[in-house]
Amino acid sequence: MPAGGYTSKRRVMERYKIIGFISSGTYGRVYKAQGKNGIVGEFAIKKFKPDKEGEPQYTGLSQSAIREMALCTELSHLNVVSTREIILEDKCIFIVFEYAEHDLLQIIHHHTTPQRHCIPAPTIRSILWQLLNGLLYLHRNWVMHRDLKPANIMVTSAGSVKIGDLGLARLFFKPLQSLYMGDKVVVTIWYRAPELLLGSRHYTPAIDMWAVGCIFAELLSLRPIFKGEEAKMDAKKQVPFQRNQMLKIAEVLGVPNVKQWPLLSSMPEYSQLSTLSAGGNSRVHRPIGLENWYNGVLKQNGYPPVEKSPTGEKKAAENPGPEGLDLLKALLTYDPQQRITAEQALQHKYFTTGEKPSMNCFEGITTKYPSRRVSQEDNDIRTGSLPGTKRSGLPDDSLRPTKRLKEG
């Protein structure tokens, strides 16, 4: 072995041609690449930045990189982004994934410009079916994703939906330490389950199901259903009560109570719920209710009324209908023990009524979604530093809420 340490037999630039820069996140940057020297196809290459970037003596690997590498090499499913290879070169880690032309955030945004026009009901049904199919695979293999949101759900040009970004995913079967001790804050704020907002030290895959409910609602309304503001950790890394986010949920669903959630009183932040109605917020006392929210969204976004055939059967699903509302209620259930599971959701009447959901979410629609934006700026994957990240190491991205907070 050379005196400098490990030397990779594979080098990124020898195997891939970098097309451009896609995006930056808390842990690194993602590039679009094309295979060369016998490697065929397009790929997304994720370059992890060191935890202590800039220190010449740094030789370790970030916790997120280790997790993602370990999981990506073990998982294989149609609805989970597949990993082609992992390359360690010059103290940098590169994970090479299959390339997807779209993500759900991009698709949602497309339907808001130049004017709002709804995502077709069969498309949403297919997206949700495939998302739940991939999530069932993860949960059956004891993996919680812990960061599901539209930006992390990829869609190929063939309409295949794939769960991506496993950087915050964790095995939950016999963990070496409590999940809370490893990561005090998980899931982007708008998609964070109420048990997490109320400080639960122990949680289950039900947190992923709440996030699916939020994604379902966002596909229907074209905006986040619970768009709160995140309170940041203090200097002592104490996790604050996310009052504003809990308030946004309560304005739709009402304030949770022990009758509907028996273990609610054991939540560390239970006493904080009484403060939600402070300041005369009438919407907390008279929440809109999920059914009113749902019916209002369908009407506002122009979904046609539910029609029935002469035999009384519902026609082709141009409207998510009452079955969609029932599934949404099951996903956005306060009590995680009563919240629907991925397996139960796939057997829900929303999917079993009428034709089986297509495995091509673009089937039957004429909309042409633009390909993912690829920038030619800052597209040099060989640089040791990572342009586009702030000196703190966090992404320079103010368009969406902070991707994740990591325990210091």
Q: What is the pLDDT of residues 330-384, one digit of tens each?
A: 999 999 999 999 999 999 999 999 889 999 999 999 889 999 888 877 666 765 4
Q: Which is nearest to 300 in space by CA: 121, 117, 113?
A: 117
* DSSP β-ladder status, 92-98 and 102-103: unpaired
* Domain containing residue 212: CATH number: 1.10.510.10
pLDDT of res. 395: 33
Cα–chain-centroid distance for residue 66?
20
Per-residue buried b or exposed e for 144-169, using 16+ beta carbons within 10 Å of the residue's own CB = bbbbbbbbbbbbbeebbbbbbbbbbb
- Residues 18 and 85 reside in one and the same domain: yes
Stretches in the chain below the pLDDT threshold 70: 1-8, 26, 50-60, 174-185, 235-237, 279-281, 307-317, 378-380, 382-408
Residues 302 and 173 in one domain: yes
- pLDDT number for residue 378: 65
Q: Does 384 fall in a domain? A: no
User: pTM here?
Assistant: 0.86
Asked if 63 and 113 sit in the same domain, the reply is no
CA 238/CA 223 separation, integer angstroms: 30
Q: Is residue 272 part of a domain?
A: yes
* Shared domain check, 281 and 327: yes
Q: What is the pLDDT of residue 388?
A: 40
Taking each helix axis from N to C terminus, what angle separates 206-221 and 290-300, rounded to the nearest 10 degrees? 40
Measured CA distances, 377 to 27, 31, 44 (Å) = 19, 11, 16
Alpha helices in 167-277 (DSSP H): 179-182, 194-197, 206-221, 243-253
Q: Is residue 297 part of a domain?
A: yes
Domain annotation covers residue 252: yes
| Pair (201, 299) in one structural domain | yes
Answer whether residue 385 is part of any domain.
no
For residue 356, report the phi and psi dihedrals to the nearest 5 degrees. -65, 140
| pLDDT of the residue at 24 | 82
Domain that holds residue 54: 12-98
Asked if residue 198 and residue 78 are part of one domain, the reply reads no
User: Are residues 331 and 193 part of one domain?
Assistant: yes
Is residue 236 assigned to a domain?
Answer: yes
**Residue 234 and residue 322 in one domain:** yes
Q: Where a domain ends, among 335, 352, 369?
A: 352
Q: Is 165 a catalytic residue?
A: no
**Of the residues 98, 129, 150, which one is the last residue of a structural domain?**
98
**Last residue of one domain, picked from the residues 65, 98, 131:** 98
Q: Is residue 114 part of a domain?
A: yes
Same domain? For 55 and 139 the reply is no
CATH number for 57:
3.30.200.20
- Dihedral sign computed on CA atoms, order 65, 66, 67, 73: positive
Residue of 51, 90, 103, 147 marked catalytic: 147
Q: Helix, strand, or coil here: 16?
A: strand
In this structure, the answer to whether residues 184 and 307 fall within a common structural domain is yes
Residue 192: what pLDDT?
A: 96
373 domain-assigned: no
Considering the domain architecture, whether residues 145 and 30 belong to the same structural domain is answered as no
Domain count along the chain: 2
Amino acid, res. 22:
I
The 10s digit of each residue's pLDDT in 277-288 is 776 667 788 899
For residues 181, 27, 87 and 149, what is the CA-based torsion angle, rounded to 10 degrees?
80
State the alpha helices, DSSP H only, in 222-357.
243-253, 282-285, 290-300, 321-331, 342-346, 349-352
Co-location of 88 and 106 in the same domain: no
The pLDDT of residue 187: 82
Cα–Cα distance for residue pair 145/166, rounded to 1 Å:
6
